[in-house]
Structure 1
Amino acid sequence: MQSIFLIMDMINDLVGEDASGPKGFKKEVERRDLIANIKRAREKADAAGAAVGYVRLGFSPDYRECPEHSPQFGAAKKNGLFKLGSWGTEVCPELAPRPGDYDIVKHRVSAFFGTNLTPLLGANGIRRLYLSGVSTTYVVQATARDAHDRDYEVVVLDDCCAALSEEEHEWSIKALSRPAKIATSHDVTF
């Protein structure tokens, strides 16, 4: 079965050295050793010939796609966050995309909503998604549930995800154990 490893929202505004977004992500990414774990999973995906895609939250420079009344995204424009074409929406340098990797830009929580992900998966015969990134509570949960409801096989890599706290992460992984298989970068097989 064709597979894709999705590395989601590992962008500078959320996890970079000078991240401007919620501060808890950077701390949890470091504490959970997320960069090393994602790199390990990436090596396995490459060795197995799986596709790799980077999902990035971002808005046009004029924020035309940003819902100003959203509790989650409403302050993005005011704070200059998640502006496409800026340092903030680039993938953190340690996980930089490689030639041939897919770029999926989203304007909402799920990697499916309003993006090129569905046509990309269909055109390449991909039926299994491996999910990683920040936040377990938002993009990972939303994407896993959307993928499940679209009849994809879903694998969430526990040690390749982080939330704002360990408690939020553990709650999310427990909730995801029904619509997805849970694995780690150590035991995953692509």
Structure 2
Amino acid sequence: MAANTILLVMDMINDLVHPDGMGAKTYVVKCRERNVYENTKALIRRARAAGMPVGYVRVGFSPDYSECPRNSPVFSKARENGFFKLGEWGTEVYEEFAPQPGDIDIVKHRVSPFYGTKLMPVLSALGVRRLLLTGVSTNGVVQAAAREGHDRDFECIVVEDCCAGATDEEHQYAIAGVRRFAAVSAASELKF
């Protein structure tokens, strides 16, 4: 699997999944309940050991929020609350998943990791055909990546126990919906 596969760790940034971030009462709780932190760390170790590239997708905006859509129900509060500001602690990957030299950094300004990013040129250059999708939120970036990845002819695998929504219902609904576009697997079931 490793030869043409990439592990994407999406939006596991301090603002969302650090105990001191804005997601402390939602994503942090659900990540702990679902063992997402430990599962993700183990999956990253396995991917690296297999020689698989690891990519980190991070939502973020310039300090002036010029890319932040004012009418977005998802991002409209970022500007007034100072969230998702590139170059600051909140948009750094949570230290438990620390990127290493050679890992791929993808910055996005919308829900989809494909929209307006360098993701497609990177995947093309690496010869990637399969995406392992992890992160928060299941009903946001993970679902968007699976749907758009499918439409771009990638084989997509959502690693269910490495994902979380803000609520159990959001996560379960997203997993049920994404099964039309992607395989769904537990981290331990993946063969490298």
TM over 0.5: yes
The 5 Å alignment of 1:25-104 reads 25-104=27-106
| TM-score (normalizing by structure 2) | 0.96
Structure 1 residue ranges without an equivalent (≥5): none
Letter in 1 for 2:190: V
Match of 2:109 in 1: 107
Rounded to whole Å, the distance in 1 between the matches of 2:35 and 2:155 is 26
Deviations 1:124-150 (A, max 9, x none): 101100000000001000010000000
Residue 189 (structure 1) shift: 1.8
Aligned residue pairs total 190
Match of 1:164 in 2: 166
Residue 47 (structure 1) shift: 2.1
Match of 1:155 in 2: 157
Contact 1:44/1:189 (<8 A) preserved:
no
Letter in 2 for 1:181: A
Residue 22 (structure 1) shift: 7.2
Residue 173 (structure 1) shift: 0.9
- DSSP 3-state at the match of 1:6: strand
Q: Cα 1:22–1:108, aligned 2, differ >3 Å: closer, same or farther?
A: farther
> For 1:3, which of 5, 11, 15 is the aligned residue?
5
| TM-score (normalizing by structure 1) | 0.97
Letter in 1 for 2:152: R
Letter in 1 for 2:40: I
Rounded to whole Å, the distance in 1 between the matches of 2:48 and 2:97 is 14
State, as a whole percentage, how many aligned pairs show the same letter. 54
Structure 2 residue ranges without an equivalent (≥5): none
Cα RMSD (Å) of the superposition?
1.1
Match of 1:183 in 2: 185
Contact 2:18/2:24 (<8 A) preserved:
no
Which 4+ runs in 1 deviate beyond 4 A?
none
Rounded to whole Å, the distance in 2 between the matches of 1:158 and 1:21 is 19
